[in-house]
Amino acid sequence: MISFLGAPIVGEPGDEARRLASELEGALSPRARRVLAARVTAAQLAAEGRAVELVVDGVPQRGRMELRLPDAEPAVRFETPLDEPTAPTGAGRLRAALEVRTPVLTDRLMRALRARSHERLWAERLPRAGRPGRALPVAGDGAPRAVLVGMHWLDVGGAERWALDTVRMVAEAGLVPVIVTDRASRHPLATAPELRGAVWAVLGSHDGDALLRGILAAFDVRGVLVHHSRWLYDRLADVRASLPAVPIIDSLHIIEFGGGGFPVFAVREDASATAHHVISPVLAEWLVEHQGVAPEKVVMAPLATRAPGGDRGAEPAPRRDPEALVIAWIGRLVRQKRPYLMLRLVAELVRSGAPVRVILHGDGELDAHTARGIRRLGLAGVVERRGSADPVPSTLAEADLLVLSSAVEGITLTTFEAVDAGVPVLSADVGSQRTVVPPAGLVPAEPGAFVREATDRIRALARDEQTRRALWQEERRLVDELAAHEDAATWMRRTIATWAE
C-alpha cells in the first residue's frame, strides 16, 4: 500500500506532491490530510485519462477534480469515505497479535471455534428474509440505461477480477455500469480499463439507503449484478419492490468456513433474486439440496477451466530435477492463502530428509512475515522467493508439484494453470477444490493434519514417479469434465445482451 499523508492512495504521488506534503503535514488536521490524499488519488485517476469527480462524505467538492474528456465520455465518479476506521475491540486486537506471533496456532483455534457453525450450514436450512421491500421512485423515460453492480472493494482477487469482467460486458452492451463498493481500501483496480465510463461510489459515512434512492432515480436500471456486496444484498428487496421485472443475479464463489459468508446472504435474499450464478458443483449442490433453492434459479458456470491463452496439456510434464522434487506455491501472501503453513510444511519435509526445492511465488501483506519465517525456520537454502512481477508460467515450467495451503477457496485458477502445464496439484480440502482435485491430491485443511498428511503424500510423490503422473492424469480428467459446462463469461455476456434490448 502506498501511503500519503496517512491515507492510502492508488499510486506514487511524485516528488512535488511529496514536497508539498512534508511542508503541510504538521499544519493539517487528520481530516484535512485525508481530503488532500483523496485529491491526489483523483488527480492520479485523471492522469490515466479518466474523467473524475471528487466527492467527500457524499458532498461534491467545490473546486473539485472534475474533468471531462473531449469525446464527452461519461464521467467516472470517484467518491472517498472520510469516516475514521473503527478501533478494533479487545478481542480483535488479541487475535491480530496472535496471528502475527503464532499464526498456525491461531488458525487451529479459529477453525475449532467455527467448526460447529460450519456443520450447521450443511445440516440446517437457513432462514429467508422476512422484511418486505420498499418501492422507491425510479427514473423516467430518457434516463441513462444502466446496470447496478455491487462489489466488496476494488482490491486484487479472483472475485474482483470476475466482477470487472462483467463490468466490461455491461459497457460493451451499451449500458452504463453503476458500481458501488462496500469497503474503502487502497483500490489497486481503480484504474482498470473496465472502469472507463463507469460510475463508481465507495460507501462511507453517508446513507446507503439514500445512495440507492439516488441511483434508482437517476438511471434506467436494466439489471443488477451482486459480486460479494453486503450493501446490495441488504437492499435487494427494495430493488425488487421498486423494479418488479428487473433481472437480479448474484455470483457466488465459496462457502466461507464457519459463518458461510456471501452464500448465506444469497439464500436469505433468494426471493428477490432472478438467478444465482455459482462457479462449482459443490455450491450448486449446497443451494439446491441443502438450502432448498429452486434448481432452475441456480446456474453452474465455471469462471475458467484453462489458463488464459493456455493449451490443454495432454501429458504430465517430466520431473524437472532428478535429485529433488521442485514444489511451487503460487498465490497472494495473505492469511487466506496461509503461506506460513506452507513454510511449516517445507520445514517438516526438510526435517524428514525429503529431497525438495521450493519456489514461493507471490507478494502481499504477509511479505515481511514470510521473509522472517524463512529465516527463522532455516529455509533460505531451500525456498526461492518470486513476486507478482515474475511470470507464473515460468514458475510452473520448473515445478514438479503445485501445493495449495489455503484456508478457504472456491476453485483456484492456479489449479487449472498447473494442470495445463502438466503439473499435478496437492491441495487443502477446502471450498470446491475437490471438483478438480481427486482424493489422492487432497489433504485436511486443519493445520496440524495438513502438515502431517502433506508431508507423507509429497514424500511418496518424490519416491514414485508413476504416482505423481497418475495424480496429474486424474486431475486432467476432472478439469475436462468441468470444462463440459458452459463457462461463466459466455453465459453472462449472452444474459447481459438481453438487458440492452
- DSSP structure string for 187-217: -GGGG-GGGTT-EEEE--SS-HHHHHHHHHH
pLDDT at 332: 86
Question: Are 97-302+485-501 and 325-483 in the same CATH fold?
Answer: yes
β-bridge mates for residue 145, sequence order: 220
Q: 325-483 maps to which CATH number? A: 3.40.50.2000
Helices (H), 146-200: 158-172
So what's the pLDDT on residue 79?
42
Report d(CA 436, CA 482) in Å as an integer.
8
Residue 20, C-beta contacts closer than 8 angstroms, at least 6 positions apart? none
Q: What pLDDT, on a 0 to 100 scale, did the predictor assign at position 154?
A: 75
Helices 465-483 and 447-463, packing angle to 10 deg: 110
> Which pLDDT value is given to residue 71?
36
Residues whose CB is less than 8 angstroms from the CB of residue 156 and which lie 6 or more positions away in sequence, other chains included? 188, 189, 332
How buried is 76 (Cβ within 10 angstroms: 0-12 exposed, 13-18 middle, 19+ buried)? buried
Q: What is the pLDDT of residue 396?
A: 96
Asked if residues 10 and 44 have their Cβ atoms less than 8 Å apart, the reply is: yes
* 350-359 burial code (b ≥16 CB/10 A, e <16): beeebebbbb
97-302+485-501 maps to which CATH number?
A: 3.40.50.2000
- Ranges of each domain in the chain: 1-67, 97-302+485-501, 325-483
Whether the predicted model's global pTM rises above the 0.85 cut = no
Residue that has been written with the C-alpha cell 482435485 in this structure: 437
- CA dist 296 and 275 (Å) reads 8
Cβ contacts of 374 within 8 Å, gap of 6 or more: 343, 360, 380, 383, 385
- Is 369:96 a contact under the CB 8 Å cutoff? no
HEC string for 84-122 = CCCCCCHHHHHHHHHHHHCHHHHHHHHHHHHHHHHHHHH
pLDDT along the chain (501 residues), means of 10: 51 56 58 60 52 51 35 38 42 54 69 70 84 90 93 77 91 92 67 74 68 90 95 95 97 78 92 95 93 96 67 78 93 89 96 96 88 94 92 95 92 90 95 93 93 97 96 95 91 96 88
What is the grid cell recorded at 140?
423516467
C-alpha cell at 171: 459497457
